[in-house]
Amino acid sequence: MNDAPVTTVDPTRTWEAKTIPVPRQLLGCRISSCGEYVVAGDFAGAIHRWHLASDRHTVLAAHSSWVKALVFHADRRRLYSTDYAGTICCWNYADEEPQPIWTLRDAHEGWIRDAVVAGDLLVTAGNDARIRVWSANNGSLLRELTGHGCAIFCLAVHPDGRTLASGDNHGVIKRWDLTTGRHERDLNAATLWHSPEATMSLTGVGGVRSLAFDRDGATLVAGGMATTTSANFAQGTPAVLAYDWAAGSARPSLRIPDPFEGFITSLAFHPDGFLIGAGGGVGGALWFWRAGEQDPFASLRGLRHLRETHLHPDGQRLIAATFEARGQGGNGRRGNIAEYVDNAGAVKIYSMTPRPSPPRR
């Protein structure tokens, strides 16, 4: 990508600066705290690592199932990865050929959906409805937080470093004191859950798919799907709910005026104060809201499905794990079965700085 030293961040001029194709589909991605490495987890259990300056690609191999949650420690050394078989691995991510420093198998029963780091604590959660707090140093289990009644999709650490928010499939957000494990409060995000009865399905659809705190921790936002017309197709409109964290009360929801079908898969507050929301469904989109405003001041639509996005520490770039279609899709079989190939993934880097002018000839 073009690393020209442009410092002006202007989301209205966001553009796709780079695409790194990956042969397998991706679930999640992260940029390292040092800003030098991008990692993404794929369907084969591989973690792809790229050194941004050199484009060097390395595969970190230790997982046997889909890798979803990746999180960097603030120490600029360690990376934690989790998979859908309940395994956690800790890596020195900048090593030439990284190998796990330690591995926890069956850390959860089934899928681990999200992981966050709070100081020397690693916090994980998943389909077993449990939050587990581990020593980020050696992986020893410190405590378990129970209370969710269904799969937990996402976690967010408050800027105070000791309070946690967790969001689940049924639209419940719980507030926890990480130092004691005490459950402090529930926030109602029930509008993000569409029950089997409401959707005439066996499973329902929705849940809290993403969480983020603003910089001073006064506001928590939760992403998901506001309405749905079909659970089986996960058809519906994206939604961002907002909460006063101290009071535990709802604030006006943010609006998404554009026609779009899917979830808000990621949320992040920019250091300048605006909120970035990523949509994944039929295609993808990015929306940008200023603090205190309900309508987005910028958007970028017509993107690939955004499985996850993560803000670069420079505040100028956004990293995305995207879906890339390959070959025949949809119902039934057509053509030569030998050409029936899997869909793929890509890591895309979106720049929120003005696109550089082409060089003059």
Q: Does 127 bind other proteins (CB under 8 A)?
A: yes
Question: Using only C-alpha atoms, what is the Rg of the chain?
Answer: 20
Closest to other proteins by CB, 7 or 336: 336
Alpha carbon distance 22, 207 (integer Å): 29
Among 234, 242, 311, 352, binds other proteins (CB under 8 A): 234
Spatial neighbors of 13 by CB under 8 A, at least 6 apart, are 352, 353, 354, 355
Q: Which residue has tokens 């060089």?
A: 359
In angstroms, the CA 177 to CA 181 distance is 5
Please tell me whether residue 13 adopts helix, strand or coil conformation: helix
- List the interface residues with other proteins, window 133-172 (CB under 8 A): 151
Residue 47 in the binding site for other proteins (CB under 8 A)? no
Distances (CA, A) of 162 to 123, 158, 180, 181, 220: 11, 7, 9, 10, 15
Q: Which residue lies nearer to other proteins by CB, 245 or 263?
A: 263
| x-or-dash string of contact with other proteins, 52-81, rule CB under 8 A | ------------xxx---------------
Instruction: Output the CA–CA distances (angstroms, integers) from residue 236 to 23, 77, 193, in the order listed.
Output: 29, 40, 11
Instruction: For residue 85, state whether it binds other proteins (rule: CB under 8 A).
Output: yes
Query: How many helices (H) and strands (E) would you count in the chain?
Result: 1, 30
List the one residue out of 343, 274, 356 whose CA is nearest residue 307: 343
Q: Rounded to whole angstroms, what are the CA distances from 347 to 30, 136, 221, 279, 286?
A: 10, 27, 25, 15, 15
- Check residue 44 for interaction with other proteins (CB under 8 A): yes
User: Quick one: which segment of 6-14, 187-195, 197-205, 310-318 binds other proteins (CB under 8 A)?
Assistant: 197-205
Cβ atoms of 29 and 20 closer than 8 Å:
no
CA distance 246 to 217: 9
Token pair for 113: 């959906």
Interface pick for other proteins out of 5, 7, 54, 202 (rule CB under 8 A): 202
**Interface with other proteins, residue 106, by CB under 8 A:** no
Q: Minimal distance in Å, beta carbon 174 to other proteins?
A: 20
41 versus 100: smaller Cβ distance to other proteins: 41
Of 257 and 327, CB closest to other proteins: 327
Select from 15, 160, 325, 356 the one that contacts other proteins (CB under 8 A).
Answer: 325
Shortest approach of other proteins to residue 205 CB, angstroms? 7
Q: Is 354 in the site for other proteins (CB under 8 A)?
A: no
Q: Does 205 bind other proteins (CB under 8 A)?
A: yes
Q: Answer whether 307's CB lies under 8 Å from 321's CB.
A: yes
Task: Report 254-313 residues binding other proteins (CB under 8 A).
Answer: 262, 281-283, 304-305
Contacts (CB under 8 A) with other proteins, residues 235-254: 235
Residue 341's alpha-carbon distances to 15, 158, 353, in angstroms, are: 30, 43, 36
| 110 touches other proteins (CB under 8 A) | yes
Burial (0-12, 13-18, 19+ Cβ within 10 Å), 8: exposed
Under the binding rule (CB under 8 A), the answer on residue 195 touching other proteins is no
* 342 counts as binding other proteins under rule CB under 8 A: yes
Span interacting with other proteins, options 5-13, 117-125, 160-168, 336-344, rule CB under 8 A: 336-344
Confirm or reject binding of residue 198 to other proteins (CB under 8 A): no
> Among residues 50, 84, 193, 289, which is the contact residue for other proteins, using CB under 8 A?
84
C-alpha 349/C-alpha 1 separation (Å) is: 8
Q: Which is nearer to other proteins, 45 or 296 (CB)?
A: 45
Residue with Cβ nearer other proteins (127 or 351): 127
Q: State which of residues 54, 140, 331, 357 lies at the interface with other proteins (CB under 8 A).
A: 331
Cα–Cα distance, 316 to 118 (Å, whole number): 24
Instruction: Report the interface residues with other proteins, using CB under 8 A.
Output: 25, 43-45, 64-66, 84-85, 110-111, 127, 151, 200-203, 205, 231-235, 262, 281-283, 304-305, 323, 325, 327-333, 337, 340, 342-343
